[in-house]
Amino acid sequence: MATAKFGRVITAMITPFLEDGSVDYEGAAALAKHLVAHGSEGILVGGTTGEGATMTTEEKLKLYKTIVDAVGRNATGKKVPVMGNIGTISTRDTILFGREAKKTGIDCALAIVPFYVKPNQEGMYQHFRAIAKHVDLPIVLYNVPGRTGVSIQPETIKRIVDECPNVVGIKDATGNWDQVTKEKTLLPDDFMIYSGDDAFTLPILAGGGVGVISVASHVIGDDLLAMVNAFEKGDLEKARALHLKMYPIMKGMFFVASPIPVKTAVNLIGQPGGHFRLPIVEPSEEEKNHVYQMLKDYGGLVK
């Protein structure tokens, strides 16, 4: 049976930017500490939600080191796993960046299916095989066809895992129950399947997944972890009730381009969400009011 080696609730953390466009490293460290205190058992840095595609290599490496230093040990002295996004559309660049990222102290790497170029299954196999062979870190694949235009198939994942023991899990954002079921059927028992969609977390847990790499956990992390705990204890009634309670927030974080809603929400709850980088823009007043109302309706998140 798979266990969540990097935490059951991992927050795909936003990156706060200052008004002048630079990275707010101090704010990022403070936010990471807040997340760990409110349900996050792991932190993913530099992913889609973190606007990693708009950041330079130097900025990302400094940010990864900042977060490792900030939450490498929590209040009880227990290590908080930090996952760093290393994925690009170039196999060579991913390998080179992954090697540098390892030096920051991250515990594992996230590698996305190459976007824009839309490789076939053989291309994906060769891409991830090369990364796994040349980056000495545990690697979690990221399958999000809504952003990449293509989906890595379970049979291809099996080919990779059979040859590359450091490919240890997947962030599955396909929203496809057949895909998840086939992954569980074909892959080793200890292979970790994380939901890449907050609203799909409970079904993925029921199918044998280990948790979620979450956006909504920026604001409802305690309840999200409580749902996972309830499921693991066999209290399906409580898990279902929490799922239904959280559903409006889990879906509402994507009513416009992410990370606009979640970053706005973080600012509204008094945490350092910061500014955006183009092509992501500040919310309109209407969008900001919509996020505020979501938080207010949830109860206790804003005054």
* Residues carrying an active site annotation: 142, 171
Largest CA distance in the chain: 53
- In the block, residue with structure tokens 């049979």: 155
Could you count the other beta carbons within 10 Å of the beta carbon of residue 68? 21
Point out which residues pair with 109 in neighbouring strands.
Answer: 84, 139
Q: Are 218 and 180 in contact (CB under 8 A)?
A: no
Q: In this structure, what is the dihedral angle of CA atoms 156, 90, 85, 164, given to the nearest 10 degrees?
A: 40
Q: Are 54 and 46 in contact (CB under 8 A)?
A: no
**Cα distance between residue 120 and residue 81, in whole Å:** 32
**Cα distance between residue 219 and residue 241, in whole Å:** 18
Give SS3 for 195.
Answer: strand
Amino acid at 126: Q
